[in-house]
């Protein structure tokens, strides 16, 4: 298993971006957020990419940004919620570092998205219908893909700092085991 990059995947609102920035600060690594890179390249927010160009265009942009950001070492890379569900993107992420899937219960995700967050209204994958039902549906659809991550870390009832510390604890243990095998 490659150990150069620390890669965070998982459903929306599991803390990937926030935890990624914390880990980067704690380790001195550079941070790369695939969604932020897409927004930078497209010069418009993700919800507008979805509404104006469609999901297929967004996924192509996501794939290109992933390839670009994974072409380096010693990074903390945060991927969007659906990135790891795309087979080609998933394989690039798996080949580029140690992948941690941040998880949370559907109710936790729903609470995080709807508790007054300015992003609550612009989650394109939750458009139409009951958001909690859609969260459950998407989690079910993506469960098999998320199971490919090297490790899973639950974020329910944990602070971002606690999640970052848990990811680093696992990562450092794996790195030490890898060094001792040489």
pLDDT tens for 140-162 read 999 999 999 999 999 999 999 99
Question: What pLDDT was estimated at residue 122?
Answer: 55
Mean model confidence pLDDT for the chain: 90
pLDDT tens for 105-132 read 999 998 888 875 545 555 666 667 788 8
Beta strands in the chain (DSSP E): 5-10, 30-33, 75-78, 97-103, 151-154
User: Which secondary structure element, helix H or strand E, spans residue 42, and what is its range?
Assistant: helix 34-42
Domains of the chain: 5-176 (3.40.50.300)
Give which of 96, 73, 110 is closest to 83, Cα–Cα. 96
Could you give the count of Cα atoms lying within 13 Å of 10 in the half-sphere of its Cβ? 27
Q: Counting every residue, how long is the chain? A: 182
pLDDT category of residue 1 using cuts at 50, 70 and 90 = very low
pLDDT category of residue 23 using cuts at 50, 70 and 90 = very high
């Amino acid at each position: 298993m490659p150990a150069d990059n620390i890669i965070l995947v998982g459903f929306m609102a599991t803390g990937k971006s926030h935890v990624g920035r914390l880990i980067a600060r704690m380790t001195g690594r550079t941070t790369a957020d695939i969604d932020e890179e897409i927004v930078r390249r497209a010069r418009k927010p993700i919800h507008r990419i979805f509404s104006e160009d469609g999901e297929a265009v967004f996924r192509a942009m996501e794939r290109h940004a992933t390839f670009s950001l994974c072409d380096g070492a010693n990074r903390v890379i945060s991927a969007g919620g659906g990135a790891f569900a795309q087979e080609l993107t998933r394989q690039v992420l798996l080949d580029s570092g140690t992948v941690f899937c941040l998880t949370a219960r559907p109710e936790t995700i729903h609470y995080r998205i709807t508790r007054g967050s300015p992003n609550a209204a612009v989650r394109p994958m939750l458009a139409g219908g009951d958001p909690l039902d859609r969260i459950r549906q998407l989690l079910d659809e993506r469960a098999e893909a998320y199971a490919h991550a090297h490790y899973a870390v639950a974020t329910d009832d944990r602070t971002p700092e606690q999640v970052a510390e848990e990811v680093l604890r696992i990562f450092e243990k794996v790195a030490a085991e890898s060094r001792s095998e040489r």
